[in-house]
Amino acid sequence: MGKRIDVLFSALVAAAAAAPVDSYEVPASVNKLGQPFEGFVSYSIEFASFPEFAGNDSIPNEFSFNLLKNLGNVMGTNPYIRVGGNTQDYALFDSSQKAALIGKVDPNRSPDYPTTITIGPAYFESYNTWPGFKYSHGLNLGLGVNRSAGWQTLVETVPLVCKTLADGKLYTWEYGNEPDLYGVSAQGPVRPSSWNESSYIQQWLNGTKQITSQVKKFCPGLASPQYMAPSFAALSSPLKEKKTWESGLNANSDIELFSTHNYISGATSPGVTLQGTLMNFGVTKASVDNHVKSYDSIFGSTNNETAPPLIFGETNSLYNQGRPGLSNTFGAALWGINFNLYSASVGFKRVHMHQGTNYRYQAWQPVDTDKATKGTKAPYYGSMAVAATLRNSATRPVSVSNIPLGTDQYEAAYATHFTASKKLARILVINMHGYNTTVDGAGLDPLPNPAARKSRAYSFHVGAQVAEGGTVRIQRLMANGSDAITGITFDGWSYNWELDAGRPVRLHNVTTGEMATVKDGRVTVHLPDSSAALLSFTKKCE
């Protein structure tokens, strides 16, 4: 991002200052529902891609580590890493295999990941490369029942998992990925069409009993396994969360996190657009709310403290690994902010954004391949903005609330309050009105004469929560437009691979240090279309 954006932004603010300004009321109390766990911004990494993302003992992936540590340094807690996805249910273990993973891609099943996979003992080296992180390991339920090699994989890998992730590295366990699709999977069913909740529960209880037995035998000092489950793909799938739970999924009281998966739409679904699908508050709200309704139908309320906490164990923008021109754009970064903070506001305690090598919606490409170059992608910057909104929440927890902005579906705002003091900490506002600067909005060929970029004013009534005349720090998430795939900064920082291997680098041609003042109980900020801003009301950006 260069001087063009800097000059343009100043002109936009001047133009917007004379426009009528609506004022929005900021909640004055802590939203108990919206109190996320530490490490709220977390990741799910495709099982077959994990060795590329993390590296191994000989060659750790420093780039991935730097990007993850950036988020951890801001949040106060490192992201939690779920290793899983479709390919965990294709992986068979070969104790004599020297390579960490050997995979075969069948384009008729999936062009994006292997569906025939063997892993060797070296696979588990990847868990050693990111010190200070916690992991879950995805165990194979898909092939673990109807193939002897699948069951033997469970028997042989559980000891490797518990030994590798001892000493505080174990987050939780996961047995099976999206078992609700086993009978109807587009990549090839691994169960008959009669597959139902009762069959699933029987196999789940049998498998988890074996996992517990192996842990007690090989890792006697480790606690009995606890799980994230049921890890279902969609609320419209043949198997239902409610019926599964009521039929005895948690009969052994070993599910510590209620994990559900979500994608806003599909990469090839008709009518999917950046503005109408991703940069749209109403679409995201409806998608997330459906999961809350399903959870509440089981446990009575998202506030039920006896129920396992609700998380997104896997999620991202568009299933089937995303679409170029949508999932890899700056608009998807804005979507990611809205999705994560809205999820936090309605009771989700942690969100694992999914990614894999060459995936279009990923936050970063960990290695060079014949399909994609190593680098930081637009969605990463959205994760950084969310982390900054929740910053230091490990030592000073916050509560997240949605601030209603009327009927405009292309805008969203969120307030965070310190849980203990109930003091207003920050406001994050997102202007999701599209602004494109490239041909067909694909982020590649620039338009010769792009339209003028509008700016909109947002005024927030903070009342007695902030002292009159108090100063407010503004940190902006900016790019040339919603279709941009490069040139993105948060508060003037770049995290690009080519600058310093993903470490933060301050760009000096971007405005930073911007301040606002509380006047008549209100603070006002001007946002160019397709941008976001974080307002901080505490000293030194606590």
C-alpha span between 542 and 538 (Å, rounded): 6
Residues 6 or more apart whose CB falls under 8 angstroms from that of 201 comprise 244, 247, 248, 249, 251
Q: For 368, which DSSP code?
A: -
397 DSSP β-pair partners: none
Segment holding 438, helix H or strand E: none
| C-alpha pair distances (Å), 461 with each of 17, 25, 61, 342, 468 | 17, 5, 46, 20, 11
C-alpha span between 197 and 201 (Å, rounded): 6
- For 464, the 3-state DSSP assignment is helix
Cβ 371 vs Cβ 362: under 8 Å: no
Residue with tokens 């996979």: 117
Minimal CA–CA distance to 371: which of 353, 356, 390, 349? 356
C-alpha span between 104 and 118 (Å, rounded): 9
Residues 6 or more apart whose CB falls under 8 angstroms from that of 220 comprise none
Residue with tokens 């990741």: 43
Catalytic positions, written as ranges: 197, 314
H helices within 318-419, ranges in order? Answer: 330-345, 378-389
The two tokens of residue 31 are: 């939203």
Cβ 50 vs Cβ 83: under 8 Å: yes
